[in-house]
Amino acid sequence: MSSSVERALRILVELASGPATISELGRRLDVHRTTSLRLLRTLEQERFVRRTADGRYRIGPRMTSLAQAALEGLDVRAAASTHLHDLGAACGHTVHLAAPEDGSMVYLDKVESRHAVRMYSRIGAPAPMHATGVGKTVLADLSESERDRLLGDPPYPRCTPNTRTTRSGLAADLAETAERGWALDDFEHEEFIHCAAAPIRDATGRVVAAVSVSAPHMVVDRNRLLALVPDLRRTATAISEELGWPGES
């Protein structure tokens, strides 16, 4: 990369955090004032930056439109693929990527377990939001009225003896999910399968999908499943960052 291109990119990165004067940019980036001015004029001509009335520079409209176009063109499955496979290789269990659609969670991608006992889930298949870890990560991000619109009136369909079918029971679980930042499917969807799930956020911070690790109880007990949560959450964070999420403030 040429030095001019590198410096121009560093200027854009710096201005992304807020407007700055030529002198401020020079000090932060250790670039001579004349060099900064030359680069800023070029960027201004191309509308990547704009000079304000007080003499400072800020991100310009062309940069904003490019960023928006890039975000709109992102594919959750494509952004997540490498991260899902890395998580699957590290833990050895089934990894799912799922997103909400028409009141259900739809599996977008799946990394198979290395173990002989495997799940019957398939890409494209729907799953109930209230009874799955991936679904509860999405519901935990919504208001009560939005949840009611998606789930309808209780009692919610019972999948196993552990399924939460009442509004109050599910609400308590979702409050805990929101507080700790991940969800647990405690044999609520399938009697012999438990899973942990973490939310995937877009550039606005909205939960748009979820990643989970699932395993039969005869392969992984509760403690070993919960031990995977830190890696699971790091994976969800990495995917979110691919989608433009800036992270926790």
Residues 139, 28 share a domain = no
Say yes or no: 86 and 127 in one domain: yes
207 and 88 share one domain: yes
Domain membership of residue 237 (yes or no) is yes
Residues 98 and 142 grouped into a single domain: yes
Last residue of a domain, which of 46, 71, 96? 71
In this prediction, residues 101-111 reach a mean pLDDT of 91
Query: What is the total count of domains within the chain?
Result: 2
Backbone angle region of 115, left / alpha / beta, with phi > 0 → left and psi within -120 to 50 → alpha: beta
| 113 and 124 fall within a common domain | yes
Q: Name the token pair of 94.
A: 């089934």
Residue 101 sits in the same domain as residue 67: no
| Residue 100: pLDDT over 70 | yes
The residue among 11, 45, 71 that closes a domain is 71
Q: Higher model confidence: residue 39 or residue 141?
A: 141
Are residue 135 and residue 149 in the same domain, yes or no? Answer: yes
- Domain assignment of residue 120, given as a range: 74-242
Q: 121 and 51, same structural domain?
A: no
pLDDT in tens, 125-165: 889 999 999 999 999 999 999 999 999 999 999 999 999 99
Of the candidates 29, 43, 89, 80, the one whose C-alpha atom is nearest the C-alpha of residue 199 is 80
Q: Is residue 66 part of a domain?
A: yes
* Strands 126-128 and 94-101, bridge-based pairing: unpaired
> DSSP states of 169-197 as a string?
HHHHHHHHHHHHT-EEEEEEEETTEEEEE
Paired with 127 in beta bridges are 105
Provide the sign of the torsion angle of the four alpha carbons 94, 97, 99, 102, taken in this order.
Answer: negative
| CATH number (domain holding residue 118) | 3.30.450.40
Residue 103 φ then ψ, to 5° = 85, 5
Give the rounded percent of residues in the chain with a pLDDT score beyond 70: 94
Lowest mean pLDDT among 38-52, 158-172, 186-200: 38-52
Same domain, 100 and 157: yes
Residue 117, pLDDT score = 65
Q: Is residue 188 part of a domain?
A: yes
How confident is the model at residue 26, as a pLDDT?
82
Report whether 157 contacts 165 (CB < 8 A).
yes
The CATH number of the domain holding residue 26 is 1.10.10.10
DSSP characters for 21-42? -HHHHHHHHT--HHHHHHHHHH
Q: Domain end: 39, 71, 103, which one?
A: 71
> Is the residue at 247 inside a domain?
no
For residues 25-62, b (16+ Cβ closer than 10 Å) or e, as one string?
Answer: bbeebebeeeebeebbeebeeeebbbbeeeebbebbee
Are 41 and 83 found together in one domain?
A: no
| Whether residues 134 and 219 fall in one domain | yes
Residue 248, in any domain of the structure: no
Does 200 lie in the same domain as 129?
Answer: yes
Q: What value does the mean pLDDT of the chain take?
A: 90
